[in-house]
């Protein structure tokens, strides 16, 4: 009898899936808040490939407990919609923050500042997790790669209006997008991951001393410090910087906080796998005859 689990870490840039830590698949963005249909398509494709690699027949797949930590999953209603589109009898769908915290800290006390395409902060104390942020590119995600890219374009427009000075970074943005008309046209169509692709230009030029880039990174770091302070994170506990851009903030943090930075214990996918195993321990087996005939494509469309 199959006793494995499936864990999913779905973010705004990529989605990673594993069967019991032995098989790994990766697909494109899986943000169910900003692109539900696209995320479901990526999830179904990833699950199908993972099942093929693990040698899971349909009946086995349907009985396999699955845990999904997904960006943009901000309500029970969205969780239920995701579950209804996937062919599993035992399924737990949450936002992606708890898996990231579990991966970074295990069950130890500490804080996480996650700055990938989106962002959030978390403090774990005596097994309790307090979360802040993660509300998406329009209303939040300060200090994220998306925010950094958007801020670079905003300050470029200010420089074009002679409100603030140009720098190598703003001149690069003007050249790349064709000035204000091109920047505005890009902004109308851009999604979070599109804006996030600008972030490496900012971090690279910040390291070279570009004043506009350093201003952006300083503002982002100040936001992280403010929220960590409000959450009660003290200097005696570690801070994990997770996500593609988070480590770039380290030079901009106060030294007392920077001294407590430690490498994450493991990845968000490892955290999702730990949560998947905990979930599996709580659920009872399902009769395969009841669910074994459900094909992957059956719940693949709205």
Domain that holds residue 23: 6-105+267-283
- pLDDT recorded at residue 46: 95
Span of 58-67, 111-120, 199-208, 286-295 with lowest mean pLDDT: 286-295
Beta strands in 60-117 (DSSP E): 66-70, 91-95, 110-115
- Position 202 in a domain: yes
Question: Residue 129: pLDDT above 80?
Answer: yes
Statement to judge: residues 243 and 279 lie in one domain: no
Statement to judge: residues 231 and 275 lie in one domain: no
- pLDDT recorded at residue 33: 86
Between CA 206 and CA 266 the distance in angstroms is 28
CATH code for the domain of 67: 3.30.420.40
Task: List the helix and strand counts (H, then E) for the chain.
Answer: 13, 9
Q: What region does 234 belong to: left with phi over 0, alpha with psi -120 to 50, or beta?
A: beta
Statement to judge: residues 70 and 119 lie in one domain: no
| Rounded average pLDDT over 81-92 | 94
- Position 279 in a domain: yes
- pLDDT recorded at residue 72: 86
Token pair of 105, please?
Answer: 């800290």
Question: Residue 7: pLDDT above 60?
Answer: yes
CB 124 within 8 A of CB 98: no
Span of 3-17, 37-51, 286-300 with lowest mean pLDDT: 286-300
Statement to judge: residues 70 and 145 lie in one domain: no
Residue 62: which H helix or E strand, with range?
helix 58-63
Beta-bridge partner residues of 12: none
Question: Residue 219: pLDDT above 60?
Answer: yes
Between these two residues, 43 and 137, which has the higher pLDDT value?
43
- pLDDT recorded at residue 296: 32
Q: What is the pLDDT of residues 243-286, one digit of tens each?
A: 889 999 999 999 988 889 999 999 999 999 999 999 999 985 54
- Position 38 in a domain: yes
- pLDDT recorded at residue 285: 54
Statement to judge: residues 69 and 201 lie in one domain: no
Rounded to the nearest angstrom, the gap between the alpha carbon of residue 184 and the centroid of all alpha carbons in its chain is 26
CB 112 within 8 A of CB 242: yes
Span of 144-153, 209-218, 258-267 with lowest mean pLDDT: 258-267
Question: Residue 36: pLDDT above 70?
Answer: yes
- Position 296 in a domain: no
Statement to judge: residues 81 and 169 lie in one domain: no
Question: Residue 290: pLDDT above 90?
Answer: no
Q: What is the CA radius of gyration of the chain?
A: 21
Statement to judge: residues 160 and 45 lie in one domain: no
SS3 71: coil
Statement to judge: residues 52 and 165 lie in one domain: no
Between CA 137 and CA 25 the distance in angstroms is 26
Statement to judge: residues 258 and 193 lie in one domain: yes
Q: Report the domain count for the chain.
A: 2
Question: Residue 298: pLDDT above 80?
Answer: no
Between CA 17 and CA 68 the distance in angstroms is 9
Question: Residue 293: pLDDT above 50?
Answer: no
CA atoms within 13 A on the CB side of 175: 7
Statement to judge: residues 100 and 33 lie in one domain: yes
Beta strands in the chain (DSSP E): 6-10, 15-19, 23-27, 66-70, 91-95, 110-115, 119-125, 128-133, 239-242
- pLDDT recorded at residue 2: 58
């Amino acid at each position: 009898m199959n006793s494995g689990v499936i864990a999913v870490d779905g973010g705004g840039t990529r989605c990673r899936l594993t069967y019991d830590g032995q098989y790994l698949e990766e697909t494109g963005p899986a943000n169910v808040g900003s692109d539900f249909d696209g995320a479901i398509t990526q999830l179904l494709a990833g699950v199908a490939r993972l099942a093929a690699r693990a040698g899971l027949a349909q009946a086995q797949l349907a009985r396999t407990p699955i845990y999904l930590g997904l960006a943009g999953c901000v309500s029970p209603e969205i969780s239920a919609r995701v579950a209804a589109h996937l062919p599993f009898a035992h399924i737990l769908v949450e936002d992606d923050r708890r898996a990231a915290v579990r991966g970074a800290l295990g069950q130890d006390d500490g804080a996480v500042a996650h700055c990938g395409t989106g962002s959030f902060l978390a403090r774990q104390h005596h097994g309790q997790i307090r979360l802040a942020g993660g509300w998406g590119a329009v209303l939040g995600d300060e200090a994220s790669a998306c925010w950094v890219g958007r801020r670079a374009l905003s300050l470029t427009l200010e420089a074009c209006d002679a409100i603030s000075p140009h720098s190598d970074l703003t001149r690069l943005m003007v050249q790349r997008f064709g000035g204000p008309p091109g920047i505005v046209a890009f902004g109308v169509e851009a999604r979070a991951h599109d804006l996030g692709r600008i972030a490496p230009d900012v971090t690279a030029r910040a390291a070279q001393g570009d004043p506009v880039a350093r201003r952006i990174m300083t503002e982002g770091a100040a936001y992280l410090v403010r929220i960590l302070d409000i959450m009660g994170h003290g200097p005696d506990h570690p801070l994990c910087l997770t996500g593609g851009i988070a480590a770039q903030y380290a030079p901009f943090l106060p030294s007392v906080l920077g001294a407590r930075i430690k490498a994450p214990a493991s990845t968000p996918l490892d955290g999702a796998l730990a949560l998947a195993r905990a979930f599996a321990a709580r659920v009872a087996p399902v009769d395969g005859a009841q669910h074994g005939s459900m094909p992957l494509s059956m719940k693949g469309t709205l």
